[in-house]
Structure 1
């Protein structure tokens, strides 16, 4: 079967890899000049099964109200006249019940655990190097209320097989000595030894090269305009490539365009409740190796993730629901630098921070769309939010099974099945 994958981010490229391994002819289309240049470019870098508590949880509405007037708020809602934003926001509020949060945690943990194992298999098969570290992820809390609120989700994750252990400040510093400067401020922590980190862009571009060697065709610099369709099936994808209009045809199509999946799907009358959550990251050179962390960290109070990528430190986080603009908000950038320098002042050259923003394709539940659409040959693998890197290999393996007529191994609420 010839499959056309729309999107060459980490989700699209892993999808192409798994499809090719199953013997399918695969073509990947992307508007950029190479793979991994949008949301995968400078994300948080963590393979974080333990980061499974969705934004939509019982404590979220009150927090968002408090944050409305804070330009550096971890989750910032900037209302505009876009109906899609308001529809997304109302759906988000409906997900903020204990029952919905528990259901969504189950989906996210199950997919994350499966995906981590699939990533490890890809790494073994290909030998790709991407500044990976397998030293676990440590969530630390400097606010006692935030720590208390993390205990029930951590317990649920353990019940689901994610070994997220609750530890005290002394154990946290023992695991990661770089936290010593704030030892007296740590109210508590959790640690998941099986979690990992690594550079998603390096991985994506490395896997794209391997996929190309294996026979996958990549059409870069190709703008996707819309679809040809008839009687519930897709006949082709309308594109502009090298200045020329053409229609690309295949037997099946996979939509993996991140936040832009919803925009393209609307041209088919297909509603995907995906809205861009603009996230920020800083990348800084390590100054003092002894003061810089190696265990990946999550600062849950500030919604920041810290990853060590070789001789660089990546800190990413916050979410801004304000539309499709990627314009940098320097107040939010500087707040990341300020918090990180406060935690570990000697670790890096904080005044040399490289700022970046990307549009994360967020669903109200944080659960992605994976499965069949109501068009017979159009499949969805999109809406992964902050966990695209974590869930990429698992969702790629699952959508490959679905396209190949098999039931995926992972216990997940696939659409259209």
Structure 2
């Protein structure tokens, strides 16, 4: 370890920031989390799908620019787009398509291994700290379109290499495992992962904050970091707007787990991070017929929508959009979320009583998270886990803490680091 008394600032109070702070504090670092909101887990983490699922973990890539552009004119688009030309957006989407076509198998294997490590760590943390949870076992990964189902062999290969249990199913077999499943939904393929888990990621994040505080982590809310500046002598200066903190904080190192703000803070240091802000929408609906409600989670690959049961509630999360953040949720998003849930579980819930919310999630063209040191040796990043990235966020936090401490991580970070991103 470099030193048990080094001071580390973590910018961002979402799941990745909280877990990074926890693992650093467990190694003896003095850690402060700086969060611009009033509480933890109020941005991307709040919109997490609740999947703790290495088998169903997918690099979040989207259709190519022209295919997605056509979705704008459909009543049930797979991706929502703002009107007007956006050449930066189209270029970014072409990069996602290239990643899907050229590197999907390798990226899927990397993400599966990372998520399996994160699932193991999460279960250990829940047991060690006696955390409350709403975990359920088993996840169905469904494919509506043949082009998406064509990737199933690569996904099965990743599961085999990661020693995950899985089984390919048809609709009748799904119904045997999940009697509430509607056989009316047309599918091109499906995989079942019995050891994948679904739960409440926000509840976990809040309990991890308590665990981090017990290790001495300080949380500063309502504090906005305006700039970071590596200084001579190996320290980093933070310029902060806050009614509670001084305007300048000096630390030995900083971890940027601040979503899109990460890009802004690094831009001044000629360190490009090609994150793109996507909108994701969620709904929480009360279950009306428990026998018609699912017991296992489901992930619809075509619409990037997850459904998880949390007690007497059904949570529907996903559906992405290249639209400006807004408190007003697009009507198409509202209809699509409920339509997708109704395709599979039409009699499960009072869908007309749904509560909706929107989140902004930062995503890289590869669809993979990014963590590790930047070219400034004491400035680190941990971002881009996506709406299904609970397990990956926990794993990346642990691996990053090992890297900060100069220790050999238990999991190889190759493919996830800023150095890998720069190499293309």
Determine if the TM-score, normalized by the shorter chain, exceeds 0.5.
yes
Q: What is the DSSP-based 3-state SS (H/G/I as helix, E as strand, rest coil) of the residue aligned with 1:335?
A: helix
Indicate if the aligned counterparts of 1:173 and 1:183 stay in contact, CA closer than 8 A: no
Partner of 2:157: 156
Q: What is the DSSP-based 3-state SS (H/G/I as helix, E as strand, rest coil) of the residue aligned with 2:288?
A: coil
State the shift of 1:149 in Å: 2.0
Q: 1:25 to 1:245 in 2, by over 3 A?
A: closer
Q: Distance in 1 between matches of 2:85 and 2:379?
A: 30
Cα distance per residue 1:264-318 (max 9 Å; x no partner): 2213322101111111110111111111111001122332110111221101111
- Which of 83, 86, 93 in structure 2 is aligned with 1:89? 93
| Aligned residue pair count | 412
Q: Distance in 2 between matches of 1:244 and 1:407?
A: 35
Q: Distance in 2 between matches of 1:73 and 1:407?
A: 45
Q: 1:216 to 1:359 in 2, by over 3 A?
A: same
Indicate if the aligned counterparts of 1:370 and 1:381 stay in contact, CA closer than 8 A: yes
State the shift of 1:102 in Å: 1.6
State the shift of 1:362 in Å: 0.4
Q: What is the DSSP-based 3-state SS (H/G/I as helix, E as strand, rest coil) of the residue aligned with 1:380?
A: strand
Q: What is the DSSP-based 3-state SS (H/G/I as helix, E as strand, rest coil) of the residue aligned with 1:384?
A: coil
Q: Distance in 1 between matches of 2:340 and 2:229?
A: 49
Q: What is the DSSP-based 3-state SS (H/G/I as helix, E as strand, rest coil) of the residue aligned with 2:346?
A: coil
Q: What is the DSSP-based 3-state SS (H/G/I as helix, E as strand, rest coil) of the residue aligned with 2:399?
A: helix
Partner of 1:215: 216
- After TM superposition, the structure 1 stretch with the greater mean CA deviation from structure 2, 152-161 or 314-323, is 152-161
Q: Distance in 2 between matches of 1:349 and 1:70?
A: 26
Q: What is the DSSP-based 3-state SS (H/G/I as helix, E as strand, rest coil) of the residue aligned with 1:356?
A: strand
**In the alignment, is residue 191 of structure 1 matched against residue 192 of structure 2?**
yes
**RMSD of the alignment, in Å?**
2.4
**In the alignment, is residue 122 of structure 1 matched against residue 131 of structure 2?**
no
State the shift of 1:376 in Å: 1.9
Q: 1:264 to 1:251 in 2, by over 3 A?
A: same
Cα distance per residue 1:234-262 (max 9 Å; x no partner): 52211111177511221110000122211
Partner of 1:110: 113
Q: Distance in 2 between matches of 1:190 and 1:217?
A: 43
State the shift of 1:65 in Å: 4.3
**In the alignment, is residue 295 of structure 1 matched against residue 296 of structure 2?**
yes
Q: What is the DSSP-based 3-state SS (H/G/I as helix, E as strand, rest coil) of the residue aligned with 2:349?
A: coil
* Unaligned 5+ runs, structure 2: 1-5, 420-424
- Which of 42, 47, 62 in structure 1 is aligned with 2:47? 42
Q: Distance in 2 between matches of 1:298 and 1:390?
A: 15
Indicate if the aligned counterparts of 2:282 and 2:358 stay in contact, CA closer than 8 A: yes
State the shift of 1:101 in Å: 1.3
- After TM superposition, the structure 1 stretch with the greater mean CA deviation from structure 2, 255-264 or 45-54, is 45-54
Alignment map for 1:289-368 (pairs within 5 Å): 289-325=290-326, 327-368=328-369
TM-score, normalised on structure 1?
A: 0.91
Partner of 2:78: 74
State the shift of 1:146 in Å: 5.2
State the shift of 1:185 in Å: 4.1
Indicate if the aligned counterparts of 2:57 and 2:111 stay in contact, CA closer than 8 A: yes
Q: Distance in 2 between matches of 1:5 and 1:184?
A: 44
TM-score, normalised on structure 2?
A: 0.90
Cα distance per residue 1:334-392 (max 9 Å; x no partner): 22112212321221111110111111110001111111001121011111123331211
Q: 1:258 to 1:69 in 2, by over 3 A?
A: same
**In the alignment, is residue 227 of structure 1 matched against residue 250 of structure 2?**
no
